[in-house]
Amino acid sequence: MVRPDCFKIAYAINPHMRAPDGSLKRVDLPRATAQWERLRALYDSLEMRVEMLAAEEGFPDMVFAANQSFVFWDGEKPCAILSTMASAERQGEIQFFEAYFKQRGYGVFHLSSYTTEPFEGNGDALLHPNGAFIWGGHGYRTSESAYETISRLTQLPVAPLRLIDPNCYHLDTCFAILDEKTVAIQESAFDAESLKRIRAGFERVLVIDPEENRLAFAGNAFCPNGKDVILNPGAPKFVAALEASGFRVHESDTSEFIKSGGSVFCLKMVVFSG
């Protein structure tokens, strides 16, 4: 996780960042910091070790740590593909993640060394729980053609999913993998072919109400262990579906971060321990 000390809304690169009058939304930083600390404490309670990167002045969205890289295992060591961000405002964040991974002995690949196509890391590329392939969101922040390079570097096939709702500009805003058999999605965020692919890839598909996703970012839920689902409050239909499916639900307020277009899944990057 990246500390929220520099978090604010300094520009608009997604529909969530502006108020109805067109002005930039304002972040209550003390409240955002308290929300971030409670989320970190929740991970501690689930016995997940949290490593923290310092915030960096001039990079207010760096707190959304899912976007700057995609982590995988090459059979011998952990590796990270560094993103090529779609927005110039965020490209400078990459250097700090590069330093983090190199200090820990990761093999590091700059996607920009192979292609000019944009790719926003774990925001759009999600490894299937069995590790056999990658779900690849595209349409807003990541180019479909970028996955040709991602597949070559990871030696894994990619199942492309086309995003068609501008409010769901990353795959992780409308597609939450819960376990190897279960995914939760906002159906209207995908084209017909992508929906067929999703339903073929999972035995159980939980459908998220579009309004619950728009208002509460239900689709940005995170299930770290196949049992516990962490999400922002305000999605009672989704919570009921999760509990009926046997998952334990943990609500953690991320409302200050939702102003900028991110919630629980966006605020972390899962890395290899050790």
pLDDT tens string 41-76: 999 999 999 999 999 999 999 999 999 999 999 999
Instruction: Average the pLDDT over 179-188 and give the result.
Output: 99
Cβ neighbours for 158, distance < 8 A, ≥ 6 positions apart:
125, 133, 134, 135, 136, 147, 150, 151
Nearest residue to 13 (alpha-carbon basis) of 97, 117, 90, 93: 90
Phi, psi of 185 (to 5 degrees): -140, 155
Q: Which residues of 95-114 are buried (b: 16+ CB within 10 A; e: fewer)?
A: ebbbebbeeeebbbbebeeb
What is the average pLDDT across 29-49?
Answer: 98
pLDDT for 274 equals 62
pLDDT at 273: 79
* Cα 39 from Cα 230, distance rounded (Å): 9
Is there a catalytic annotation at residue 168? no
The closest of 204, 212, 223, 161 to 186, measured between CA atoms, is 212
Q: Indicate the average pLDDT of the chain.
A: 98
> Of the listed 16, 170, 174, 223, which one is catalytic?
170
Please, where are the H alpha helices in the chain?
A: 29-45, 88-91, 94-103, 146-154, 192-201, 210-216, 236-244, 255-258
Structure confidence by residue, pLDDT tens digits, 92-123? 999 999 999 999 999 999 999 999 999 999 99
250 is catalytic: no
pTM attached to this predicted model: 0.96
Centre a 10 Å sphere on the Cβ of residue 77 and count the other Cβ atoms it contains: 10
- What strand order describes the sheet that includes 204-207? 175-179, 182-185, 204-207
Q: What is the mean pLDDT of residues 27-31?
A: 99
How large a percentage of the chain has pLDDT more than 90? 99
- DSSP output for 59-85: -TTTT-TTSSEEEEE-SSSEEEEEPB-
What's the confidence (pLDDT) of residue 104? 96
Backbone angles phi, psi at 199, to 5 degrees: -70, -25
CATH for the 26-267 domain, from 3.40.190.10, 3.30.420.40, 3.40.630.10, 3.75.10.10:
3.75.10.10
Domain ranges of the chain: 26-267
Give the pair of three-digit tokens for residue 236: 């009672």
